[in-house]
């Protein structure tokens, strides 16, 4: 594995490589993390939603369907190969017209918004400067908009997840709900008005 410069705060800790996504983004995963059940109660037609670190699009495509033809889903990643995979999936699912593909730079989200809902599923632990990252999501989120933060219990300690929640709070979010998500820590946060 290539050595990374950990001195630069914008350097990701370890972005998930595209080849690894095939191991956990499969039909069996949909039984454990059903996108419609997990996200449907929080997403409305016509909204702008953002999926940060979308992997192969397991949540991006259902989000695009949920927001409908007048909404849009933004897939944001620092790896073009990930976005290419999501674009292929969106094309096959016939929702490519409502999905925007945004290549970010490490440390720079680069989405101005306004966004109604952001999903950060199993990826915040990969970000070197979580406080800055969460502040950038807050800046792109409309007042009252939501951030659904979910981290894997397999990689992330509870204290680390709680630190991320505190950082999101400092950025202007407050915890609205603590939904149960299989093998994960989860919090639905709302941006203060």
User: Does residue 6 form part of some domain?
Assistant: no
The pLDDT, as a whole number, for residue 29 is 67
pLDDT tens digits, one per residue of 30-56: 678 899 999 999 999 999 999 999 998
pTM value? 0.87
Any domain includes 10 = no
Does residue 5 belong to any structural domain of this protein?
Answer: no
CATH number at residue 143: 3.40.50.150
63 part of a folded domain = yes
pLDDT digits (tens, 9 = 90+) for 66-118: 999 999 999 999 999 999 999 999 999 999 999 999 999 988 999 988 999 99
SS3 assignment for the chain? CCCCCCCCCCCCCCCCCHHHHHHHCCHHHHHHCCHHHHHCCCCCCCCEEEEECCCCCCCHHHHHHHHCCCCEEEEEECCHHHHHHHHHHHHHCCCHHHEEEEECECCECCCCCCEEEEEEECCHHHCCCHHHHHHHHHHHEEEEEEEEEEEECCCCCHHHHHHHHHHHHHCCEEEEECCCCCCEEEEEEEECC
Q: What's the number of domains the chain is made of?
A: 1
Give all strands of the β-sheet with 99-103 in edge-to-edge order. 99-103, 72-77, 48-52, 115-121, 141-152, 184-191, 173-177
Does residue 13 belong to any structural domain of this protein?
A: no
pLDDT (average), residues 175-191: 97
Position 2 in a domain: no
Domain span holding position 176: 18-191
Q: What is the pLDDT of residue 16?
A: 53
Q: For residue 12, is it within any domain?
A: no
Residue 8 lies in a domain: no
């Amino acid at each position: 594995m290539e050595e990374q410069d950990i001195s630069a705060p914008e350097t990701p800790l370890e972005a998930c490589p595209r080849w690894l996504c095939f191991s956990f983004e499969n039909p069996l995963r949909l039984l454990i993390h059903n996108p419609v059940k997990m996200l449907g109660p929080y997403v409305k037609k016509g909204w702008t939603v953002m999926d940060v670190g979308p992997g192969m699009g397991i949540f991006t495509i259902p989000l695009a369907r949920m927001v409908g033809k007048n909404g849009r889903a933004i897939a944001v990643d620092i790896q073009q190969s990930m976005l290419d995979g999501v674009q292929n999936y969106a094309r096959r699912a016939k929702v490519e017209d409502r999905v925007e593909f945004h290549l970010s730079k490490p440390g720079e989200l680069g989405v101005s918004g306004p966004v109604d809902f952001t999903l950060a599923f199993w990826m915040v632990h990969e970000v070197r400067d979580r406080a800055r990252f969460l502040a950038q999501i807050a800046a792109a989120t409309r007042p009252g908009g939501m951030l659904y933060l979910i981290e894997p219990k397999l990689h992330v300690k509870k204290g680390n997840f709680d630190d991320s929640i505190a950082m999101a709070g400092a950025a202007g979010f407050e915890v609205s709900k603590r939904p149960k998500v299989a093998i994960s820590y989860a919090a639905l946060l709302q941006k203060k008005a």
